[in-house]
Amino acid sequence: MSNEPLVERRPAPSFNVGVLLERKLKVLKSGMAIPDWSIAELLLYTAANAGVRQKTTIDDAPDCRRFLWTGFELNFYRDGGESYWHTLVGEQQEVFAVCQDDEDDELAPILVTADYDEAMAYQEADDTVLSTPMPPVIYQTLERFVLENYTPEQKKRRKRKDWHSAGAVDEPFARHPDHK
């Protein structure tokens, strides 16, 4: 008898990523300027840069500041299959950066994810969530991961009640037509 497993177990894929955040000042009609944040670019790194979070100022112009944040892992988890599947079949395939204010009153990413549901949970908790189009290599890896680990549930149609039959009663306390 062989000791080989019946199912090949492969680790869930992950990517080491950096997030280039861009802050432009948006001038309102009142003349007040507010920061408008976006992801300028999502960068892929080798494993050597993983785990050490680091902020580097790339551009410090008054009207546009850019900060490179490195040391993030973009992980895929088997229990996120449904959310990943919706991301893949949606109109726009995106990666999300969940951000909070740092000690310098600038926006700092705390998490990078491809899980829409996870990102929206952070947004509901008043964190800032920025998105950027998913790079092709991440899309292809996520697609393969979903195909190997997730099967969408078949929609089940509920059986409708027969409201027109002679004995059917609409509500529990409704008067039956035969009772006066």
Model pLDDT for residues 63-74, shown as the tens digit of each residue: 899 999 999 999
Asked whether residue 44 is domain-assigned, the answer is yes
Whether 113 has a pLDDT exceeding 70, the answer reads yes
Asked whether residue 171 is domain-assigned, the answer is no
Asked whether residue 59 is domain-assigned, the answer is yes
Determine the Cα–Cα distance for residues 147 and 58; give it in Å rounded to an integer.
38
Determine the Cα–Cα distance for residues 41 and 29; give it in Å rounded to an integer.
29
CA distances from residue 49 to 14, 54, 62 in whole angstroms, order as listed:
13, 10, 30
pLDDT digits (tens, 9 = 90+) for 161-177: 666 665 655 555 555 55
Asked whether residue 155 is domain-assigned, the answer is no
Whether 5 has a pLDDT exceeding 70, the answer reads no
Radius of gyration of the chain measured on its C-alpha atoms? 25
Asked whether residue 142 is domain-assigned, the answer is yes
Full residue range of the structural domain in which residue 122 is found: 14-149
| CB neighbourhood size of 18 (10 A) | 19
Asked whether residue 172 is domain-assigned, the answer is no
Per-residue confidence (pLDDT) for residue 129, from 0 to 100: 97
Asked whether residue 95 is domain-assigned, the answer is yes
Asked whether residue 41 is domain-assigned, the answer is yes
**Is 7 in a helix, a strand, or coil?**
coil
For tokens 């079949």, the residue is 89
Confidence of residue 49 (pLDDT cuts 50, 70, 90): low
Per-residue confidence (pLDDT) for residue 174, from 0 to 100: 57
Determine the Cα–Cα distance for residues 43 and 19; give it in Å rounded to an integer.
6
Residues 6+ apart with CB under 8 A from 169: 176
